[in-house]
Structure 1
Amino acid sequence: MELFLEPKNMDPPLIIVGTSPIALALEEWAPRFALAPLRISLEEAAPGGVADEPPTRLRNQLDLHTGTAAYGVVATMGVYDVDGLLALSALPLRYLGLVTSPKRWTAMRTDLAAAGASSEFIDFVTAPAGFDIGALGPQEIALSILAQIVERRRRHAQVRWRGQSAERHPEPDEAAHSRELAAPRQVIDPVCGMTVDLEKSPHRLVLDGTTYGFCCAGCRDRFARDPETYLSHA
């Protein structure tokens, strides 16, 4: 007896960074568009070593075969956008979208460059992610992003970003600065006044090139709604 097996192509992975409602909607809807969702986040990451930076903790959650070209979306809503993008920069990608506003993306380009991202990678990021369809709410925003991924997949099948080294080797004149960054960075939550370890806390927000740390998501959200009020009392 002869058996004829029809080969089945594996759905390409869609790596989603974050726990926001948009991230959860993308995770739920991705299989309907022949995408295999894999959601990662700092909130759900296993405790790392003392030297493990946020991008490393995110990458440790990935279980992809070397060379697997993926689609990626960072939807942390400003909490750890830069870390999410850096985590995915080491992977071969067909698409990488960031849920953000055009104004905030302009400032984030500088933050990414300062963190060691190449200009080629920064230009590869699609921000804001998704087609402009006047979307309202997480489901509609997720739909606009998935539509954009489908368009890239069908019309631009080649891998557009081949990944860069996850390690950045500082120049000699950066040695002192690197040692400084290795030490714990204690900051004050501008909302409640608590001391926060900026390297370990997932509740962060970048504003005008400055990274602020918060004890919880509630403080971060209150600050994001009205930063001037809290900065005027700093």
Structure 2
Amino acid sequence: MKMTERAQQLVRARTPFVHATVVRAQQPTSAHAGDEAILLQDGTIEGFVGGQCAQNSVRKAALGALQSNESVLLRVLPDGDLHFPEAPGAAVVVNPCLSGGALEIFLEPQIPPPLVQICGATPIAEALADLCELVGFAVRRSAAGEDALESPADTTAMVIASHGGPEAELIRIALDAGVGYIGLVASKIRGASILDELELTDAERARVRTPVGLPIGAKTSAEIAVSIVAEVIQAIRKGGLAIPAHPASVVLEALDPVCGMTVTVGPDTPHLTVDDVDYWFCGPGCRKSFAATKASS
């Protein structure tokens, strides 16, 4: 599978990853400019951006990029001498295990965008779905029936635009799932009546917007959709509305007993078990050296 196809697959599954691309390579090195890989939260590397020694540095930097959600230009060098021209904002890693050469790799994290669940099949729901996609939000559509009652655990915002159906039940489910923004398309009187039925706490009531949307005097379905999207953006950018994070895998680190480098333990990290003790290495060279030392002792 090509990297672009794999990336699209992960985006559809809302799985965080880092896209790594070799932008410069200095011989001798096994990687070349244009080589690319995808790095997952568990440390898995799919593709090629260098040999075992380089992979450990790339893996560690990629996991940091996922946490910060900021792109990184990683420069992996065999010693402290900067062989490449200076690059503002680059992160430099000195990896003494490299067999010469140097690499410069661009790491671009891909974090799932805010997910807005829209309940209903009304003109407002249709306009809202189109506008959410236009601003880069992910959209999940559901009708007003039982199919909308699934727990929205990964949802940033839920908007109920069904003009009927199990509106109160949907609000209750969204509240229990921890959704931070819940909007109900209804008049002020009808919305208040529905909320009164639920007997909400003050904290829960603060998470439900009805009438939903910023008060811009919206009349048409499209205008109402604009007011709702604007309010969601405001809640995220200024109100601290949290975007549920994909559960991160627990990533282990170990100390290479030969070179002393901190190694991020992944599925392809060189490994050796001696006397029931596990050791991990930055590359096959250190593993071979350690094994030889143990065999002779």
Structure number with the bigger relative contact order (C-alpha 8 A, sep ≥ 6) is 1
Whether 1:102 aligns to 2:193 is: no
Q: Deviations over 1:49-90 (max 9, x none)?
A: xxxxxxxx6116x5x5xxx35111111113332122123122
Residue in structure 2 matching 1:141, options 217, 220, 224: 224
How far does residue 138 in structure 1 lie from its aligned partner after superposition? 1.0
User: Residue type matched to 1:83 in 2?
Assistant: E
Question: Residue 176 of structure 2 aligns with which residue?
Answer: 90
How far does residue 160 in structure 1 lie from its aligned partner after superposition? 10
Residue in structure 2 matching 1:29, options 121, 125, 131: 131
Residue in structure 1 matching 2:209, options 121, 126, 133: 126
User: Residue type matched to 2:235 in 1?
Assistant: R
8 Å Cα contact 1:71-1:149 kept in structure 2:
yes
Between the aligned partners of 1:34 and 1:13, the Cα distance in structure 2 is: 10
Larger Rg: 2
SS at match of 2:108: coil
Identity of aligned residues (%): 27
Greater fraction of residues in helix: 1
How far does residue 119 in structure 1 lie from its aligned partner after superposition? 4.4
Question: Residue 72 of structure 1 aligns with which residue?
Answer: 158
How far does residue 126 in structure 1 lie from its aligned partner after superposition? 1.0
Task: Note the residue ranges of structure 2 that are not aligned, 5 or more in a row.
Answer: 1-30, 32-48, 50-104, 245-297
Question: Residue 13 of structure 1 aligns with which residue?
Answer: 115
How far does residue 40 in structure 1 lie from its aligned partner after superposition? 1.5
Between the aligned partners of 2:107 and 2:213, the Cα distance in structure 1 is: 37
Between the aligned partners of 1:130 and 1:88, the Cα distance in structure 2 is: 18
Between the aligned partners of 1:69 and 1:39, the Cα distance in structure 2 is: 12
Q: How does 1:1-234 map to 2 (within 5 A)?
A: 1=31, 2=49, 3-43=105-145, 45=147, 58-59=149-150, 64=153, 68=154, 70-113=156-199, 117-159=200-242
How far does residue 94 in structure 1 lie from its aligned partner after superposition? 2.9
8 Å Cα contact 1:16-1:73 kept in structure 2:
yes
How far does residue 44 in structure 1 lie from its aligned partner after superposition? 7.5
User: Residue type matched to 1:147 in 2?
Assistant: A
Greater fraction of residues in strand: 2
8 Å Cα contact 1:59-1:88 kept in structure 2:
no
**Aligned-residue CA RMSD (Å):** 2.5
SS at match of 1:7: strand
TM-score, structure 1 length as denominator? Answer: 0.54
8 Å Cα contact 2:213-2:229 kept in structure 1:
yes
Task: Note the residue ranges of structure 1 that are not aligned, 5 or more in a row.
Answer: 46-56, 162-234
Between the aligned partners of 2:166 and 2:135, the Cα distance in structure 1 is: 27
